[in-house]
Structure 1
Amino acid sequence: MTGVQTLTIGADEADQRLDRWFRRHFPHVPQGRIEKMCRKGEIRVDGGRVKPATRVEAGQSVRIPPLPDDAAPAQPRETVSDTDATMIRDAVIYRDDHIIALNKPPGLPTQGGSKQTRHVDGLAEALRFGLDEKPRLVHRLDKDTSGVLVLARTRRIAGALTEAFRSRDTRKIYWAVCAGVPQPRMGTIRYGLVKAPGHGRGGEGEKMHCVHPRDVDAT
């Protein structure tokens, strides 16, 4: 058994549930044990009793009671091939201590899904650049869309950026390739989008087509 410990919540750990913070530091302690220690007052924050769902803030002190030494083996990281690691690192167009900006290539999904095993979220394992955790997604681009994709390097920045995208404080600009020169050169296009089926069993080659407003109901 370990002795009583006192840990301080870091700036990048703020605004998360106590039980989630606890499991990050002590992954071998099951959720039921954490809840029991909270009920008995063995886990305390700034000297006060807390619940597992209590949100912790930077600078708070957490009392950790004696814990068993038998830590469970760490979960293996996702494996990224050397080829994919080189590809995703070459896609980085900006990096600092807080964010990574990628030029996402078309055809690469942002996240995994049905039959999608190769995606940015998985390849992000190759984008740690010295940090303990892989960068986090804060928004998405469609699979066939290329463009700038922003990832947060810390949990705190991920929360701030996610809120910025949700509240539309960020500005997005989309560019499209067109055949010919539009006349007039400026204006607003108000067309509906419909999905045209692709070929093959998996629907490969699926495209979005523009439909004039008068024809939307007929599609």
Structure 2
Amino acid sequence: MRSKHPPARAAEAGNSTTRQGAASPGVQFLTVPADLAGQRIDNFLQSRLKGVPRSRIYRILRKGEVRVNKGRVKAEYKLQPGDVVRVPPIRTAEQAPAPVAGDQLRQLVEASILYDANGLLVINKPAGLAVHGGSGVRLGLIEVLRQMFPESQFLELVHRLDRDTSGAIMVARKRAVLTHVQGDLRAGRLEKSYLALAVGKWPRGRRLVEAPLRKNTLKSGERMVSVDPEGKPSETRFQVLERFRGATLLAAEPVTGRTHQIRVHAQFVGCPLAGDSKYATDEANRAFREVGLKRLFLHSSVVGCSLPGGQEVRVEAPLSEELESVLAELRSGTGVPLQP
């Protein structure tokens, strides 16, 4: 279909939002202004195609219906100033009203706010809450926050956590904060530390795991990651904090930021994380349920960064009562009846 708006006459992105509930006017060409540079294309589309399910946005990206400067891009592509984004027509029938967060969920998220200043939010994300909607999840942390703070003109995830992982996650309230902190993240200057409970005895002296990781999608649609020579370079630093019978408490610092990195690197060493339904054995998970563990024991315990104004921020996220009680049970001498 020939566009009514060729790239030379592209509208500014901030003035070209598709109106929710109305039929699409056809192909749109949106020029990215400087203040939106660095934003992922999927988030850019989500904020402009109000009511369109995130799964639909991923689908039009995969099929190449969205183009940037006439070329196909992946969902993680970060926009540059002056990029021209081609957005295909989105039929009204494919739009759906955004789900509304219930009072209980809002109260849970509000109680989980650890830091809110200088254009940055840090949330102690509960396990089981996705960071954003999509792939069968209708409502995630970022959608809840946008409903809690409707007056905020800008709210974007600085980084991500797996749905099953709890702990500190940063959300930017200002574009300048997002760009600055993500720059530190890419440069390896962001502090990120996790607490992880591994199955068995972690090998003495094993402080670094360097193993390339490759993502795979099973026929069922489940996403798995494995160590593969053709995968992306990946590095995690581990430190033993405490040893128990049948388990080891670790501090883990991902140098790179690959999907499921800590989980797969722990499995690679021979000590998968306790409660991990993807990478630990059913036998191990049954044994840890005996000491009260009903979820993945992986927690983002510390995040630290600098802000555009020069402030240094370091936030610690406490463990949930559930994980604390598991550690208390292990410290009592009960241990886990597993062979290393």
> What band does the TM-score fall into relative to the shorter chain?
0.5 to 0.7
Larger RCO (alpha carbons 8 Å, 6+ apart): 1
Would you identify which runs of 4 or more consecutive aligned residues in structure 1 move more than 6 Å?
A: 74-77, 191-195
**CA offsets, 1:35-63, max 9 Å, x none?**
8xxxxxxxxxxxxxxxx737457xxxxxx
The 1-side partners of 2:32 and 2:106 are apart by 38
CA shift for structure 1 position 125: 1.9
Matches within 5 A, 1:110-189: 110-128=131-149, 131-133=151-153, 135-178=155-198, 182=202, 184=204, 187-188=206-207
Per the alignment, in what secondary structure is the counterpart of residue 111 of structure 1?
Answer: coil
**TM-score (norm. length: structure 1):** 0.52
Q: Where do 5+ consecutive residues of structure 2 fail to align?
A: 1-9, 36-49, 52-96, 223-262, 271-340
2:128 aligned residue: 107
Change in 2 beyond 3 A, CA 1:83/1:180: same
Aligned to 2:113: 92
Name stretches of at least 5 consecutive residues in structure 1 with no aligned partner. 1-16, 36-51, 58-73, 196-200, 214-219
Cα distance between partner residues in 2 of 1:168 and 1:92: 25
Gap change, CA 1:148 and 1:56, over 3 Å in 2? closer
Amino acid corresponding to residue 188 of structure 1 in structure 2? R
Contact 1:78–1:125 (CA under 8 A) maintained in structure 2: no
RMSD: 4.2
How many aligned residue pairs are there? 152
- Paired with 2:32 and 2:168, the residues of 1 have a C-alpha distance of 36
**Structure holding more strand per residue:** 2
User: Which protein is bigger by CA-based radius of gyration?
Assistant: 1
- Alignment match, 1:22: 15
TM-superposed CA distance for 1:183, in Å, is 6.1
Q: Contact 1:100 / 1:152 at 8 angstroms: preserved in 2?
A: yes
In structure 1, C-alpha distance between the alignment counterparts of 2:33 and 2:146, rounded to whole Å: 28
Which whole-Å CA distance do the structure 1 matches of 2:154 and 2:33 have between them? 23
Give the TM-score of the pair, scaled to structure 2: 0.36
- Structure 1 contact 89–126 (Cα < 8 Å) conserved: no
Q: Equivalent of 1:53, from 31, 38, 41?
A: 31
The structural deviation recorded for 1:171 is 2.1
* Paired letter, 1:114: S
Query: Which residue identity does 2:267 align to in structure 1?
Result: C
Q: Deviations over 1:64-119 (max 9, x none)?
A: xxxxxxxxxx9887522111110111110111140100011112111222111131
Is the 1:92–1:102 Cα contact (8 Å) retained in structure 2?
Answer: yes
Q: Which of the numbers 267, 270, 278 marks the counterpart of 1:210?
A: 267
1:147 maps to a residue whose letter is G
Amino acid at match of 2:15: F
Q: What is the rounded CA distance, in whole Å, between the counterparts of 1:169 and 1:191 in structure 2?
A: 19
Which string of whole-angstrom CA distances, capped at 9 and with x for unpartnered residues, describes residues 188-217 of structure 1? Answer: 25487899xxxxx997xxx8671458xxxx
Q: Distance in 1 between matches of 2:118 and 2:209?
A: 41
What is the distance in 2 between the residues matched to 1:97 and 1:212?
40
Amino acid at match of 2:106: A
Hey, what does 2:104 align to over in structure 1?
83
Percent of aligned positions that are identical: 22
Preserved contact between residue 100 and residue 150 of structure 1 (Cα < 8 Å): yes
